[in-house]
């Protein structure tokens, strides 16, 4: 019996991809946020150093990678121990499997943002749980068992401050619900050199991490999408329960990847370099989009621009495709997003420049 899952949304973009691909100068793909820049040499070298690892890796993570996660948090003013962290096979697998690992099922509610990354819903539907889209903690029902926050947000780049995170945590604890913040874009903050606030920040937790998790990925900040490298941190009791379930299901990052993660998490310089690349692309695209009549909403952090010109998102997608540019319709992320498109910063400098030129020509 097949799972009751939504249609894979990206298939609907295929005709627009074909139109954009017919442009004389080729497609400018600003849809899927897949990194295009090189993996930093120190990480590639670390992976190569660890290839001769014939034994099974540790599900909880090697001491090296767990300590690297602890150190990464410490440099950001958040104190955790090795019992609070485990590596994951990227972040998507964790997001999709968390309802299963928590034992959720029919009658349970998973809350997610109104405008949201689709995998939160997929994870709920796998176990038959109900999904509620809400950004207002007071509206979360008493049957809520898991709350997903996403700050910085995908697709809209929305950022929660400490106060709003704390309010969400307080409400989740009143309900006895696990609350997890997807923080994969935290180091791509466009309003400050500092990362965006974490749900594990002491200003949020107020001395207790109970039922609270933060989810991270190295895909964008270190160009490791191909490595499938991520981690989760938070309440030690909850992390321990999740770890036991992961042992049974074999959800283990490969040992060479764990070593590469440890090296990547110990080095902030390559992250600053990559952030600067994205900042330059972002500035060029913002200017060109605004010149072509678009408004940029939110987009305070992360890898995307959340753009609108007050029309149905598919009409906007078609407008871009006619100019050889592929973007993502907001409808992929919920009904509230049908008048926006998501525009990714993950294209080469040459392709971004080509897109900027096409947009600038449209504004003349």
Q: CA–CA separation, 74 vs 265, rounded Å? A: 11
What is the C-alpha end-to-end distance of the chain, expressed in Å?
55
pLDDT > 90: percent of the chain: 95
pLDDT at 11: 86
- Collapsing DSSP states into helix, strand and coil, what is residue 353? helix
Global pTM reads: 0.95
pLDDT at 364: 61
What stretch of H or E contains 360?
helix 349-363
pLDDT at 1 over 70: no
Residue keyed to tokens 């500035």:
283
- Asked whether 353 and 323 are in contact (CB, 8 A), the reply is no
pLDDT digits 0-9 by tens, 133-149: 999 999 999 999 999 99
Give the chain's domains with CATH numbers.
9-38+270-363 (3.90.1150.10), 41-266 (3.40.640.10)
Q: Do β-strands 109-112 and 130-133 pair in parallel, antiparallel, or remain unpaired?
A: parallel
pLDDT at 362: 83
pLDDT at 63 over 90: yes
Rounded to whole angstroms, what are the CA distances from 234 to 83, 120, 121, 212, 349?
Answer: 9, 19, 22, 6, 37
pLDDT at 199: 98
């Amino acid at each position: 019996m097949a799972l009751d899952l939504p249609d894979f949304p990206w298939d609907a973009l295929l005709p627009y991809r074909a139109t954009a691909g017919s442009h004389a100068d080729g497609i400018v793909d600003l849809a899927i946020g897949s990194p295009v820049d090189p993996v930093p040499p120190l990480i590639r070298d670390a992976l190569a150093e660890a290839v001769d690892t014939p034994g099974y890796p540790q599900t909880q993570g090697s001491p090296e990678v767990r300590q690297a996660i602890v150190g990464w948090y410490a440099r950001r003013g958040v104190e955790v121990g090795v019992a609070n962290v485990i590596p994951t096979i990227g972040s998507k697998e964790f997001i999709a499997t968390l309802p299963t690992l928590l034992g959720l099922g029919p009658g349970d509610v998973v809350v997610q943002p109104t405008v949201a990354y689709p995998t939160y819903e997929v994870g709920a539907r796998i176990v038959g749980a109900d999904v509620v889209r809400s950004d207002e903690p007071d509206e979360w029902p008493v049957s809520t068992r898991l709350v997903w926050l996403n700050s910085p947000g995908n697709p809209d780049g929305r950022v929660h401050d400490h106060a709003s995170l704390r309010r969400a945590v307080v409400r989740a604890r009143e309900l006895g619900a696990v609350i997890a913040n997807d923080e994969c874009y935290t180091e791509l903050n466009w309003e400050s050199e500092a990362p965006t606030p974490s749900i594990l920040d002491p200003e949020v937790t107020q001395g207790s991490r109970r039922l609270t998790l933060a989810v991270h990925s190295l895909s964008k900040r270190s160009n490791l999408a191909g490595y499938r490298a991520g981690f989760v941190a938070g309440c030690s009791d909850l992390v321990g329960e999740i770890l036991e379930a992961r042992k049974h299901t074999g959800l283990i990052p490969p040992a060479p990847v764990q070593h590469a993660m440890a090296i990547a998490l110990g080095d902030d310089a390559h992250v600053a370099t990559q952030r600067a690349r994205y900042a330059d692309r972002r500035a060029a695209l913002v200017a060109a989009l605004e010149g072509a009549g678009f408004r940029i909403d939110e987009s305070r952090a992360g890898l995307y621009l959340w753009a609108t010109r007050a029309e149905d998102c598919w009409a906007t997608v078609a407008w871009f495709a006619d100019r050889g540019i592929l973007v993502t319709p907001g409808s992929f992320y919920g009904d509230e997003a049908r008048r926006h498109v998501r525009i990714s910063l993950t294209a080469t400098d040459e392709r971004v420049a080509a897109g900027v030129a096409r947009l600038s020509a449209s504004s003349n």
